[in-house]
Each structure stands twice: as C-alpha cells, then as structure tokens.
Structure 1
Amino acid sequence: MNVTKEVFGKTEDGTEVHLYTLTNDNGMTVKITNYGAIITSLVTKDKNGNPGDIVLGFDSLESYLKGHPFFGAVAGRYANRIKEGKFTLDGKEYKLATNNGKNHLHGGIKGFDKVVWTPEEINNGLKLTYKSKDMEEGYPGNLTATVTYVINDNNELRINYTAETDKPTPVNLTNHSYFNLAAGQAKNNLDHVMFIQADKYTVVDETMIPTGELRPVKGTPFDFTTPQPIGARIEQTGGGYDHNFVLIKKTPGEMSLAATVYEPTSGRVMEVYTTQPGVQFYAGNFLDGSLTGKGGVNYVKRYGFCLETQHFPDSPNQAAFPSTILKPGETYKQATIFKFSAENRANQ
C-alpha cells in the first residue's frame, strides 16, 4: 500500500492544488485531487490482467476549472435537486441558487465540487476537510465536512463522510464519479449489465423533482432486481435513467449491497455497498461529445454512468422521505464502498 503526492496546478486565485495517488498491492490505483475532492483516475485490471482507467475525467486541473458535469467530485452541501431552490427549516425559509432550470442542484453555483479541501495523508488513504461557512450558497450553519478515501488489497475503495454543524442544516454528500468499466474498449455504457437492490424508485416531474410517490419497480424499465443491460430498456424511460432508487435495507443506515455492474468486454465487475437509503442511477444522458477527457477521449452520450449513493432528492421539502437535517451536537456519518474484480462469463 502506498500514497504519493504531486502538484496538480493552481486555482485562479493562486492556491496550489495537489494530486494524491493511492496504490494497493494488486496494482489498483486511485488518484484524488483536493480540488473538489475529485477522483480523477481509478485503474483496475480486466479479466486478462490488463490495467485500465474506469472513471471519466481530465489530465489537468485547468480542464476541471473550466467546468464539467461533476466528474468524480464530491457534491454538497446537498447532492441532487431541491425544488425551486428553497426549503423551510424551523419556520424560516431559505433560498438557494437555481442552477438547474428552476431548481437547485448539487450545492449551487460553487458547491463542494469547486472548493479546495484541506488534505491529510492517512494510513492507506487520504482525508479531506472543508469548512463551509454559515449561509454559504444559502445554507444555514457553519459546517465542517470530511471525506476520507481509503483502499485495501481486496480492491475496495471506501469513502467515509462525516459532518458537524452549529445550526440545523440539510446535508447530503455523495461522490459523482462517472464509470465506464470497459476503460475505453466500448463506445458507451449500454452493454454494462446492471443490478440494483431496490424495489421502488422516486417518481419525478418534468423538472426531475420527486412527486413524493415511491413506485414499485416491478414491471417497469426501472426494475434492475434481475441484472439487465443498461441499454435494454433505456428508450422506454423517456430521456434515459436519471432517477433515485430506494434501496432495500433490513436496518436503516446499515452497510449493504446497493448495486452490481458487469461489463462483458473487459469482464470487470463493480459492487457498490452503502449506508445510504438511496442511489441515483444516471446513465450519462447529457454527455454530448463536447468534452475531451483523459487521453483525448471524447465523452459522447452515455459514455459513462453514475451510481450516486445518497439520501433522496428534495428531502428538505418532502416530510415523508428520510430526514437530511443535521443538528448541532449530531454527527453526519455515511459510507460507501466500491469493490472491483474481474471474471469470465462465458454465457454473457
């Protein structure tokens, strides 16, 4: 196990940003920058033992600073959407940026994905801390958030999230990595075989805000309780998958399997475990080829997919959803594990 550090560049205000590389004894490597707590690279081996980078991103900090659809970043203070950029807490209405049509998305104009985190190298990993000031992006409370990335020799990447606040505030943190397990061997993600341990999903309106209905997946294109290629029914969904799935959990907050993805060209398998109640499956519908990533690859429509472990969208305005309100004296704690392997499946 090894952690190394190098200079990645400077932000527009001259702040130096670093890139950290975590390596295990199997040749799995994860590169993380303290700008946005972004995973810039994740290399795992395919069924033939050949390494390949399975996340979307850029070769330089400059490209991240120009703007991108949250490649590899930590989204916060509230990941996903909040209706019309407002919520009421303890009788007071708070107004946030509307940066996704008329809604608020992933923390606003300058969310946690666009700030420099304070790094600390730890055993087998990296700890990143960010102190978000009271009313930053419209959110109440001084919030101290930490994200730790740790890898092990079981080819697991564990992400731990914690946060504390001095005023009640909504908190919902996730990692927004886009995966393509083919590592460049396939032109899109449609042949990836997806399993999601969810029996319901949150129905959304035309602006992608939940209506409040938790609809059974059975008999719909959202049923991944039996593994299905992403592309098998994607055209039946309208614009493609960009929905929150309600995970089956025996005990709220337990670490349990959320999803498994298999890519037949490479044989790579990714298992996702989480303490969170939901996962947003996004199929990269809005990638359009305008972004050129690492190695000169054009990120075309549905080149990568996301499995964003999270609380449900718009929870501050949905009393029936699990609460996302963190209060003083409490500690927000969530964790997600991405586990990687490879296998030959002759019948696939």
Structure 2
Amino acid sequence: MQCVEYGRLPDGRVVHEYTLGNGLGLKLSAITLGGIVTGLWVPDAQGQSGNVVLGFDNLDDYVHRNPSFGIIVGRYGNRIAHAGFELDGETYPLARNDGPNCLHGGTEGFGHRLWTAEPVEPCAGEAAALLFSYTSPHGEQGFPGELKVSVRYAVSATENSWRIGYEATTDRATVVNLTHHDYFNLAGDGSVLRHRLTIPASRYSEVDEHLIPQRHASVEGTPFDFRQPTAIVARIRKAHPQLLVAKGYDHNFLLDGEPDADGLRLAATLDDPHSGRRMQVLTSEPAMQFYSGNFLDGSLCGPNGRIYRQGDGLCLETQHNPDSPHHEASEDWPSTVLRPGETWRSTTIHRFS
C-alpha cells in the first residue's frame, strides 16, 4: 500500500492519498478528505487497465466543486424532506441544501470532512485493507448524538473486487444511512447510456417534484423495469412522468430476494459492451438508488481535460429508503434509527469481471 501527500486544505490540514492493489489488475486510490475514491482501475476484456470512476486530478476541485464524486455519504445518504425530522418527541432541523430538503447529510456532510486513515491487517482472502475513521459531534448539520464512524475499504486477493464495510455507534438516538457515491463509467470515457443495467427489483419509489419518495410502485410496464439486462439509453428519454420530474433516473429501488448466508444480495449488474467490463454490486442494504448523472452539465473538468456531461457517469448507491425518518418503520420502510448500545453495520461489494 502506498501513501502520499495529496494536498492541503485551505486551513493547512494535510490530505493524504492511499493506493491499494491486489496484484490481479485492480487498483484503488482514495484520499482522507471524505474518503473520496479518486481512482478505481480494473482490466477490460483485453486485460487493459482503465479508471472506471469519475473524479478530479486536484484537491481544489474536490474541496470547492465536487458533485459528490467518490465520497462517503453521511450521516444520511439521499434526501430527508423539509430538512428535519422528529425522533422520540423531539424535532431536529437539519442543514437545507437541496431545495427544501437535506441531501447527503447537509452542506458539510461526511464527504466534506477530513477523516483519519490507517492501513489495517487484511482478513482472509484480502490483499489489502484501509480503515477510515471519523467522529461526528452532536448537532453536526443538525443531527443528534455523537456518532463514531468507521469505514473499511478492502480489495480481494482472489478476484477483482472492492468491499466497503461500515460501522457506526452513537451516544444518543439518531438516524443513520451511510452509502458511497461513486460515479461509474465502465468504458473509462464517454457516455454510460449504452451500458446494460440489471436491477433485481420489482418495485421502485415514486417521487414528488422535490425527489422525495411518496409511495412504492411496481416497475412492471414502466421504464423502471430493469429485471432483465437493459441498455440505459433504451428508455431514459421516454415521456414518463417520473423520468420528467427527475430529468432521468434518480430513484430508489427496493431489492428483491433474500440475503445469502453472508447477509448479502445482488443489487445490480452493469455491463459495458464496448470494453467488456462487468460490475456486480452486492449489499446488505434493502434498497439502492440509481442515478443517471442527470445534473452533470459540462461545467466540470476531469483529468486530461475531460468535460463531464449528462450521462457520463452513473451511481448505484446501496441504502435504506430515502426520507425514512418521516415514515413509520415497517417491512417496506425499514428503520434508520440508531440508539446507544447498538452498532450500525453495512457492507457493499463491487465485483468486476
């Protein structure tokens, strides 16, 4: 594992970049600002390595212009309506950064925080592992409780896969919904719209004009049916009310099937016919957000002068349902409440072939 100084924040604090490799062709680089994955290189069908995530080549862009490229998202991934919630009879106003909503933990969520990172002993079957740690004080962005968080990145020694393991504890009742916000492009360049996507989900969450889930609906007969491999371009421009309100896909999918013996289930399979790369996403989470990069508008520039435009990357964010704090806990709306004495855990694996 390599560690280098990546740059310094405006207040002088040093940001480091760590690089993990598995000797099979997979290499992952991440910085201590937000746990941001700055690069993820995997082989294509001819064995040529390419970076499959969008990002920048300098710290200044990550500090001032990052549309959540590669970040650890928290305390609450996705949206909470009206930027607030009630828990145990108390109301907690949150940072408002998405119209009337709190998005991805607020204006200064976990993706904006400087984390501590240290290499840790790999487990059986792992080539390398890195542990990120952060303590979020009570009241940060409005959320109650001091939340102690650790996020472990590990690369496999036997296959080209990257495992993310999340843990969190609190000293008072709070809500937690951690995820990761990588923009994937398996071709390494150009658009992702001709990628083929499979999501084993028979229901998705319909949203209002502020992209807040209102109800769960069947995907049958809609552009949201990805139960069979489907090119994203095939239906993204259909005049469906939900595609119109989100300017593409920006929706939560409720995953079908039961978890396996390791507590994981398949959340998505993404195929790029051009490069031959395939990515499977497995998770312990009950749902996943598919976002088709709708708000990339050509105003951001990546490495080698690459301009990021709409559809140049997509996100597959494993999660609990958005806006869960405003719904009574049920099978359809699993609780995101964490209480003292409990440990919140979640795992997501990205497997490449």
Q: 2:207 is matched with which residue: 204, 207, 226?
A: 204
Q: Secondary structure at the match of 1:113?
A: helix
Task: Confirm whether residue 51 of structure 1 aligns to residue 49 of structure 2.
Answer: yes
Q: What TM-score, normalized by structure 1, do the two folds share?
A: 0.95
Moved more, 83-92 or 118-127: 118-127
2: CA distance between counterparts of 1:323 and 1:254? 17
Q: Which amino acid is 1:340 matched to? A: F
Q: Secondary structure at the match of 1:140?
A: coil
Q: Secondary structure at the match of 1:84?
A: helix
Match of 1:282 in 2: 291
Task: Quote how far apart the aligned CAs of 1:68 are.
Answer: 1.4
Task: Quote how far apart the aligned CAs of 1:307 are.
Answer: 0.1
Task: Confirm whether residue 305 of structure 1 aligns to residue 307 of structure 2.
Answer: no
Task: Quote how far apart the aligned CAs of 1:254 are.
Answer: 2.4
Task: Confirm whether residue 260 of structure 1 aligns to residue 264 of structure 2.
Answer: no
> Is the CA contact 2:259–2:265 (under 8 Å) kept in the aligned structure 1?
no
The RMSD of aligned alpha carbons is 1.1
> Is the CA contact 2:18–2:30 (under 8 Å) kept in the aligned structure 1?
yes
The one-character-per-residue Cα deviations of 1:105-163 (angstroms, maximum 9, x if unpaired) are 00001000000001111131110000000001000000001101000131110000000
Q: 2:335 is matched with which residue: 311, 323, 327?
A: 323
2: CA distance between counterparts of 1:258 and 1:251? 11
Match of 2:172 in 1: 167
Moved over 2 A (4+): 251-254
Q: Which amino acid is 2:223 matched to? A: P
Q: Which amino acid is 1:120 matched to? A: E
1:241-256 aligned at under 5 Å gives the runs 241-251=249-259, 254-256=263-265
Task: Quote how far apart the aligned CAs of 1:103 are.
Answer: 0.7
Q: Which amino acid is 1:50 matched to? A: Q
Q: Secondary structure at the match of 2:67?
A: coil
Q: Which amino acid is 1:158 matched to? A: R
Task: Confirm whether residue 143 of structure 1 aligns to residue 151 of structure 2.
Answer: no
> Is the CA contact 1:246–1:279 (under 8 Å) kept in the aligned structure 2?
yes
Task: Quote how far apart the aligned CAs of 1:329 are.
Answer: 0.2
Match of 1:346 in 2: none
Q: Which amino acid is 1:52 matched to? A: G
Q: What is the identity percentage for the equivalent residue pairs of Structure 1 and Structure 2?
A: 47
Q: What TM-score, normalized by structure 2, do the two folds share?
A: 0.94
> Is the CA contact 1:41–1:55 (under 8 Å) kept in the aligned structure 2?
yes
1: CA distance between counterparts of 2:265 and 2:76? 22
> Is the CA contact 1:56–1:294 (under 8 Å) kept in the aligned structure 2?
no
1: CA distance between counterparts of 2:2 and 2:152? 15
After superposition, the Cα gap between the structure-2 partners of 1:44 and 1:251, relative to the gap in structure 1 and judged at 3 Å, is: closer
2: CA distance between counterparts of 1:289 and 1:302? 11
Q: Secondary structure at the match of 2:269?
A: strand
The one-character-per-residue Cα deviations of 1:265-320 (angstroms, maximum 9, x if unpaired) are 10000000000011000000100111001222110111000000001000000114
Q: List alignment gaps of at least 5 residues for structure 2.
A: 123-127
> Is the CA contact 2:25–2:160 (under 8 Å) kept in the aligned structure 1?
no
Q: Which amino acid is 2:34 matched to? A: G
Q: Secondary structure at the match of 1:231?
A: helix
Q: Which amino acid is 1:240 matched to? A: G
1:1-348 aligned at under 5 Å gives the runs 3-122=1-120, 123=122, 124-153=128-157, 154-184=159-189, 187-211=190-214, 213-236=215-238, 237-238=243-244, 239-251=247-259, 254-319=263-328, 320=330, 321-341=333-353
2: CA distance between counterparts of 1:197 and 1:83? 27
Q: Secondary structure at the match of 1:145?
A: strand
Task: Quote how far apart the aligned CAs of 1:235 are.
Answer: 1.3
> Is the CA contact 2:53–2:184 (under 8 Å) kept in the aligned structure 1?
yes
2: CA distance between counterparts of 1:94 and 1:231? 41
Match of 2:125 in 1: none
Q: Which amino acid is 2:66 matched to? A: H
Q: Which amino acid is 2:153 matched to? A: Y
Task: Quote how far apart the aligned CAs of 1:66 are.
Answer: 1.4
